[in-house]
Amino acid sequence: MFELPSGAEIQGIIASVQGSVGLFIPEIYLSALFMLLIVVDLVAKGRKNNLLAITTLLGLAGSTIFIYQQHGLPAGEIFFGMYVLDEFALFFKYFFVLSAIVAVVVTMADEQFDREVKSMGEYYALIVAMVIGMIMMASSADLIMIFLSMELVSFTGYILAGYFKRNPRSSEAALKYLVYGAVSSGLMVYGFSLIYGITAQTNIIKISLELAAHGSDSLVMILATLLVLAGFGYKIGAVPFHFWSPDVYEGSPTPVTAYLSVASKAAGFALLMRFFYVAIPHGALPPEDTLGIDWLSLLMILSVASMIYGNVVALWQKNVKRLLAYSSIAHAGYLLLGILVMDQFGTQATLFYLLSYFIMNFGAFYVVILISNKTGSENLDDYRGLGKKMPLAGAALTVFLISLVGLPPTVGFIGKLMIFSALLTKGTLYMWIALIGIMTSVISLYYYMLIPLNMYLRESKSPDEKGMNLALAPQIILAVLMMLTLYFGLFFTPLSDFAKYSSVMFGITLQ
């Protein structure tokens, strides 16, 4: 039943593949970097030096050049609709590469690696692999690509989470991540299969056309929707698909935690947005969808649940990493708010929020690492009196936390401002959900402030007043991150213009 294609067709296929490859350079470059790193690792066997790290940094930095070259290229599909190239994807390419760079920097600062593992081995290679996977997540326009890229990210994630082989918590994290991730992706793929069954298409644009044209049996559709959502939700770590994240975040090496909580979450959002906007045909106004499925209320439930659950449970945490994990759940909720609005402003707000989250969350984790380097603990009680011993770290952490709460003059405040503005442009429609967002952010103030409270308001149990002064490099990095948090809190035009520029998605025009 399948007849072989004719020569002319083959020529055309080859031609388009060649054309597509031209638009695929950053990914190819990164894959090459991945290989290179493995080789370098083999060469520099066992020796503990920053060779790998430096190579990774340079390599990643180099990749930005290729990404930059993709500006101005016409948005379009490549590889027969498997993959798209648009500003939206570009944004995330930058985002992931940058986050990988920061992750590497953070890793270099973390002394736990020296204690836990003999050699950095394939660690950096995995980081890069994850970057590739995430970039593809952000750009894939076909169920198959989506699945593959997600799995790529997940697998690297599993390994990174369990990178401290001898550390029970790390291994436990890996196992939980693995099981939970496998199940969710399995469910998602099952959902895909149903969608494929309904529409006979795997390209999301075609799917939406198909659905718009013929509609579907809504019962099957909701089933498929829920299953797919389970997969996406697991990536963005939103309630009720969040269960893995606290344990994994707590157990994994801190740089990995930071990386997961920022980058992989962002990747999940990229995917969700593309799928939600493109694959689902929407009616004129957000609430009414052509399919009988009320995606909006689904996402609303997710977002409200995430905001409330994340913030409320975070109140009880005694371990800073775990606390930040719960807070990241809450932030997933805030990000979902931006998606709900489902217009160009909402997208812009979401992207902006991702950027702000990138800065402040990495900053926070960085300080956590520096502190645990000195104190060897991530418990709140061990933070007592640190404000005096490590003034810069303390100040920086305070700034990051304030930004996470969303108080001016920090970038976090602007993020919240834009999200809520996006909600309120729809008049009173989303007022109540905005109110919940506000309420929960008040709650969040409390547990975030617990950290400065311990650092400044309480005396350390071991009253040795010798200051723990940091090395120069970490100080500079901290200072830079802190400055950025404050600077973009006051002059956020560049970021938000970038977000605006990137809020264009192939296959759909948001009003």
Partner 1 sequence: MEQLTTIGLNHYLTISAILLGFGLFAVMTRKNAIVVLMGVELILNAANINFLAFSKYNGGMEGVMFALFVIVIAAAEAAIALAIVINIFKIFKSVDVSSIDSMKE
Partner 2 sequence: MLSLIVFLPIIAGLVILAVPSSQKQIIRIVSLLAALAQGVLAVLIWRGYDPSLPGITAGAGGSPLGSFQFVEKVPWISLNLGGFGSLNIEYFLGVDGISVTMVILTALVSAIGVLSSWTIQKQVKGYFILYNLLASAMMGCFVALDFFLFYVFWEIMLLPMYFLIGIWGGPNREYAAIKFFLYTLFGSVFMLLVMIGLYFSVTDPATGLHTFSLVAMATQTNFNVAGAIFAPENHLWRQIAFIVLFVGFAIKVPMFPFHTWLPDAHVEAPTPISVILAGVLLKLGTYGMIRINFPLFPEVFHASMYVIGIFGAINIIYGALCALAQKDLKKMVAYSSISHMGYVLLGLSAGNSEGMVGALYQMFNHGTITAMLFLLVGVIYDRAHTRQIDKFGGLASYMPVYAAVVTIAWFASLGLPGLSGFISEAFVFVGAFSSETTRPIAMVSVLGIVFGAAYLLWSLQRMFLGKRNDDAAYDLVTGPDGHEHIHFHDWKGKLDLDGRELAMLVPLVVITIFLGIYPMPVLGMLTSSINKLVQVLSPVVMSQM
Partner 3 sequence: MHSLIQLSIVVLLLPLLSFVILIFFNRRLPRRGDFIGVGILGTAFGISAYIFWTVIVQTYDPAFRIAWDFTWIDLGNVPGVGPLQIKMGVVIDNLTSIMLAMVTLISLLVHLYSTGYMAGDKNYGRYFAFLGIFTFSMLGIVLADNLFAIYIFWELVGLSSYLLIGFFFEKDSAADAQKKAFLANRVGDIGMWLGILILYSQFHTFSFEQIYANLAAGKFALSNAWLTAAGILLFMGCVGKSAQFPLHIWLPDAMEGPTPVSALIHAATMVAAGVYFVARIFVMLTPDALHVIAFVGACTAFMAATIAITQNDIKRVLAYSTVSQLGYMVLGLGVGAYSASLFHLVTHAFFKACLFLGSGAIIHAMHHEQDMRWMGALWKKMPWTFVTFTLATLALAGLPLTSGFMSKDAILAGAIGFAQAEGGGIYYLIPALGFFSAMLTAFYMGRQIWLVFFGESRTHLKPADNHHQAHHVHDAHAAHGDAHHGAHEVHEVSWNMRAPLVILAALSVFAVYSPDPLDGAKGWFMKMIPTPATVVGEANPQMGSLAAGGVTPQLAEVVRTTEVAPPPVAGEHAAPAAAHGEAKGGHVYSDPRQAEIVHAGHAAHFTAIYISSIMVALGICMAFVVYVFKIIDPEKTARLIRPLYLFSLNKWYWDEIYEATFIKGSMAIARMLSWFDTNVVDGIVNGVATLVRKFAFANDSFDRHVVDGMVNFTAFTVNTTGAVLKKLQTGKVQTYVVMLMLVLFSYFVFYFIRLIY
Axis crossing angle, helix 244-251 with helix 168-199, rounded to the nearest 10: 140
Q: Which of 32, 438, 476, 483 binds partner 2 (CB under 8 A)?
A: 438
The residue among 178 and 266 lying less far from partner 1, judged by its C-beta, is 178
| Whether 163 contacts 170, CB under 8 Å | yes
CA 472/CA 441 separation, integer angstroms: 35
CA 14/CA 6 separation, integer angstroms: 12
**201-234: buried (b, 16+ CB within 10 Å) or exposed (e) per residue?**
bbbbbbbbebbeeeebeeeebbebbebbbbbbbb
DSSP string of 413-473, one letter each residue: HHHHHHHHHHHHTTTTTTHHHHHHHHHHHHHHHHHHHHHHIIIIIS--SS------PPPHH
**Positions in 307-346 near partner 1 (CB under 8 A):** 316, 322
Q: Is 286 in the site for partner 2 (CB under 8 A)?
A: no
DSSP string of 142-175, one letter each residue: BHHHHHHHHHHHHHHHHHHHT-STT-HHHHHHHH
CB of 180 to partner 3, least distance (A): 6
Q: Is 220 in the site for partner 3 (CB under 8 A)?
A: no
Question: Which option in partner 3, partner 2, partner 1, none does residue 222 bind, with CB closer than 5 to 8 A by kind?
Answer: partner 3
Phi, psi angle pair for 508, to nearest 5°: -150, 140
Phi, psi angle pair for 319, to nearest 5°: -100, 125
Question: Which option in partner 1, partner 2, partner 3, none does residue 219 bind, with CB closer than 5 to 8 A by kind?
Answer: partner 3
Residue 85 is classified by DSSP as E
Residue 427's CB: how many other CB atoms inside 10 A? 8
Q: Is 158 in the site for partner 1 (CB under 8 A)?
A: yes
The SS3 of residue 11 is helix
Q: What stretches of 278-319 show up as alpha helix (H) in DSSP? A: 295-314
| Whether 143 contacts 185, CB under 8 Å | no
Residues 181-200 as x/- pattern, contact with partner 1 by CB under 8 A? -xx--xx-xx-xxx-xx--x
Q: Is 478 in the site for partner 1 (CB under 8 A)?
A: no
Residues 96-115 as x/- pattern, contact with partner 3 by CB under 8 A? --------------------
Q: Which of 10, 58, 179, 480 binds partner 3 (CB under 8 A)?
A: 179
Question: Which option in partner 3, partner 2, partner 1, none does residue 169 bind, with CB closer than 5 to 8 A by kind?
Answer: partner 1
Tokens, residue 434: 């905005």
Window of 69-77, 306-314, 347-355, 363-371 that interacts with partner 3 by CB under 8 A: 306-314
Q: Which of 175, 424, 453, 486 binds partner 1 (CB under 8 A)?
A: 175
The residue among 146 and 411 lying less far from partner 1, judged by its C-beta, is 146
Q: Is 172 in the site for partner 1 (CB under 8 A)?
A: yes
Question: Which option in partner 3, partner 1, partner 2, none does residue 244 bind, with CB closer than 5 to 8 A by kind?
Answer: partner 3
Identify the sign of the CA torsion 139, 143, 149, 150. positive
Residue 279 is classified by DSSP as I
Question: Which option in partner 3, partner 2, partner 1, none does residue 223 bind, with CB closer than 5 to 8 A by kind?
Answer: partner 3
Q: Which residues contact partner 2 (rule: CB under 8 A)?
A: 343-345, 348, 388, 398, 402, 407-409, 413, 416-417, 420-421, 424-425, 427-428, 431, 434-435, 438, 441-442, 445-446, 449, 452-453, 456-458, 491-493, 496-497, 500, 503, 511
Q: Which residues contact partner 3 (rule: CB under 8 A)?
A: 175-176, 179-180, 183-184, 187, 218-219, 222-223, 226-227, 230, 240-241, 243-244, 246-247, 292, 298, 308-309, 312-316, 318, 380-381, 439, 442-443, 446-447, 449-450, 453
